[in-house]
Amino acid sequence: MEKPYTCDLDSKAHSQQNHLITHLLTHKKEKSFACDVCRKVFSQKSHLKSHLRTHSKEKPFVCDICNKAFSEKTNLQAHLLTHTKEKPYECGICSKAFSRLSTLKRHLLMHTKEKPFECDVCNKTFSLKPNLQRHLRTHTNEKPFACDFCIKTFSCPKSFKRHLLRHSIQNSRNHSLVMCSEAFS
């Protein structure tokens, strides 16, 4: 999709002029919409409303084909492409196609070796923002992912998910043992 409208302040490109105008307001406006849960502030009410769904876990956008639910309309739209197998975003370097623009952008970093996200503490650079965020927790020792089954906490969501899987496997084994002993008693 062509994006001919570019912001002079941060070079962000937009496909429509009205999107650029809305974006420009984010630079001028004071961020006056605050989240009551985490105090993060937003320049637009719609962005706050979208953010609030991350706390409520509300997923109002549902796929008509498989009933998978999403918190964001754009995520549902991208998901629908998985059913049609459509991949409208193509890499100009290697011609690999993607169903999501964000996936193409992440792929392009592989070609450019660009690492635009830098740690303020140790100056280490990262190609992806989530990787920088995970790295920053090594400096703060923050572990925001807490297990509901035991006392363990994790700084990395992948480690947390892997840990939860262990509980799931353990619970399924215990359940199988109960089922097995009942079946043969």
| Residue 92 Cα to chain centre, angstroms | 25
pLDDT the model gives residue 67: 95
pLDDT the model gives residue 178: 38
pLDDT the model gives residue 183: 36
Q: What's the pTM value of the predicted model, to 2 decimals?
A: 0.43
Higher pLDDT, 172 or 42: 42
85: left (phi over 0), alpha (psi -120 to 50) or beta: left
Mean pLDDT for the stretch of residues 63-87: 90
Hey, what amino acid is at 152? Answer: K
**Confidence check: pLDDT of 158 > 90:** no
**Those residues with Cβ within 8 angstroms of residue 34's Cβ, 6 or more apart along the chain or in another chain:** 40, 41, 42, 48
The domains located in the chain, with CATH, are 5-56 (3.30.160.60), 59-114 (3.30.160.60)
**Confidence check: pLDDT of 151 > 80:** yes
Mean pLDDT for the stretch of residues 122-126: 91
- pLDDT bucket at 133, cuts 50 / 70 / 90: confident
Q: pLDDT digits over 17-72, tens only?
A: 777 777 776 666 566 788 888 878 887 788 888 888 888 888 999 999 999 999 88
How far is Cα 157 from Cα 11, in angstroms, rounded to an integer? 31
**Confidence check: pLDDT of 176 > 50:** no
**Those residues with Cβ within 8 angstroms of residue 26's Cβ, 6 or more apart along the chain or in another chain:** 43, 44
What SS3 state is found at 54?
Answer: helix
DSSP sequence for the chain: ----EE-TTT--EESSHHHHHHHHHHHHS---EE-TTT--EESSHHHHHHHHHHHH----EE-TTT--EESSHHHHHHHHHHHHT---EE-TTT--EES-HHHHHHHHHHHH----EE-TTT--EESSHHHHHHHHHHHH----EE-SSSS-EESSHHHHHHHHHHHHHHHHHHHHHHHHHHHH-
pLDDT the model gives residue 95: 94
Mean pLDDT for the stretch of residues 87-108: 89
State the chain's mean pLDDT as an integer: 81
Mean pLDDT for the stretch of residues 102-125: 88
Hey, what amino acid is at 43? Answer: S
pLDDT the model gives residue 65: 94
